[in-house]
Amino acid sequence: MADKFFTLFHYSMVPIQQLDIETKIGMSREEWIRYVLSRPFQFSYRGGVELHWTPKGRLEESFYGLVQRQRAHSLHRSPDEGGDEIMTEEWQGAYVLVDPTVHNEGQRIAVENDVVGRPETLLKYLMAAINERIDAPYQTEFEPIFDADSFWSFVDEHGSKLKSIRFKFVVPNMWGTEKELERELQDTRDKTGAERVDIGLSSEHGVDARSDQVANGVEYAERGSGKIFARSMGGATYRSNDEPKRTEISYLNDIALMGENFLRDARKRILGRE
C-alpha cells in the first residue's frame, strides 16, 4: 500500500469592478473556474521555473488536474550496458482536486503534498496566473482550511485574555448569508471593491478571546475564508495557517490504479468530507 496526502483550501471569487473589453462577462463563478482550468497552460513559479497545468477530467460535481514540472534526474544504465551514470528528464505532478459548487463545503481545493512543491505555494502561483488573465471576470482568493480547535487550545493554554488577535478575511462571495459578520464584509466589498479585510484587536490589558465577536471571526476564518494571528499576554504566538487541514488516502502501490475511477471514489475523503 502507498499513501497520498493533500492540503485543503477554500477559495472565493470577487467580481472585478473595472472589466476589460475581453472579459468573459456573464459567466458564473463555477462556470469561470471550470472554463479556465479545462485547458492546459504554463505559468511561472519561483526561481524562474515553469510549471504546467494539465487538466485530467471530471469527478461527478468536482474535477481534477495536475500541476507538473520537469526535473533533471540521474540514473545508471543496466549492468549489460556498463552501468554508466546518465542524466535524463522526468515529469513530476501533484494532483489537484477542485469542487467549484457553491455550498457550505464547496469552492474547495485539495492539493497533493510535497511532490512538485508546497501546496500553498503551488496554489498561490496557479491562482496568480488565473487572476492575471485579461479575460478574468473575477479575482480569485484562497486560504487554507484549518481546525478552530487549535485556536481554542491556544486560548485555553494562555488564558482567555490575549494581547492581540488579528483576522485577515477574504470577503464572501455567496449571497443570502444570515451571519452579521459576513453581511458586513459583503457590504464592505460592495462599497469599496475590497477583496480582503483586515481586522485587528489589541489591548495592553487583554482582549477577551471568548467574546462573540472573536468567536464569529474564528468560525468564519476556519472555513478557509481567512487567517488568524494571535499573541498571548506572555508573548506566545498563534498562526492558523501553520496547521492547515490535511487528508490522506491509501491505495495499492500500482501506478495504473491511481486514475480517474479511484479518485472519483476517493474524492469526498480527499476533499475532507469523510
Q: Is the pLDDT of residue 221 over 60?
A: yes
Q: Is the pLDDT of residue 203 over 80?
A: yes
Question: Which span out of 54-58, 74-78, 99-103, 221-225 was modeled with the highest average pLDDT?
Answer: 54-58
pLDDT for 21 equals 56
pLDDT for 175 equals 42
Band the pLDDT of 243: cuts 50, 70, 90: confident
Mean pLDDT score, 237-250? 89
In whole angstroms, give the CA distance from residue 106 to residue 98: 9
- Measured over the CA atoms of residue 90, residue 73, residue 5 and residue 171, the dihedral's sign is negative
Whole-prediction pTM value? Answer: 0.82
CA–chain centroid gap for 16, Å, is 20
Q: What is the pLDDT of residues 46-59, one digit of tens each?
A: 888 999 999 998 98
Q: Is the pLDDT of residue 256 over 70?
A: no
2 or 169, which is more confident: 169
pLDDT for 187 equals 78
Band the pLDDT of 85: cuts 50, 70, 90: confident
In whole angstroms, give the CA distance from residue 30 to residue 129: 18
pLDDT for 176 equals 42
Tell me if 126 sits within 8 A of 53, measured CB to CB: yes
pLDDT for 170 equals 82
**Residue for cell digits 465577536?**
213
Structural domain boundaries in the chain: 2-144+245-270, 149-242
Tell me if 244 sits within 8 A of 145, measured CB to CB: yes
What share of the chain in percent tops pLDDT 70?
A: 91
Question: To the nearest whole number, what is the mean pLDDT of the chain?
Answer: 86
How does DSSP assign the chain, residue by residue? Answer: -EEEEEEEEEEEEEE-SS--TT--TT--HHHHHHHHTSS-EEEE-GGG-EEEEEEEEEETTEEEEEEEEEEEEEEE--GGGT--EEEEEEEEEEEEEEE---STT-SEEEEESSSSS-HHHHHHHHHHHHHT-TT-SEEEEEEE-B-THHHHHHHHHH-SEEEEEEEEEEPP--S----HHHHHHHHHHHHH--SEEEEEEEEEEEEETTSHHHHHHHHHIIIIIEEEEEEETTS-EEEGGGSB-EEEEEE-S-GGGSSHHHHHHHHHHHTT--
pLDDT for 267 equals 87
Q: Bin 249: left if φ > 0, else alpha if -120 < ψ < 50, else beta.
A: beta
1 or 261, which is more confident: 261
Tell me if 32 sits within 8 A of 137, measured CB to CB: yes
CA–chain centroid gap for 184, Å, is 24
In whole angstroms, give the CA distance from residue 14 to residue 169: 13
In whole angstroms, give the CA distance from residue 185 to residue 165: 18
Band the pLDDT of 2: cuts 50, 70, 90: confident
Give how far Cα 245 sits from Cα of 26, 48, 110, 140, 233, Å. 34, 29, 10, 20, 27
Q: Is the pLDDT of residue 26 over 70?
A: yes
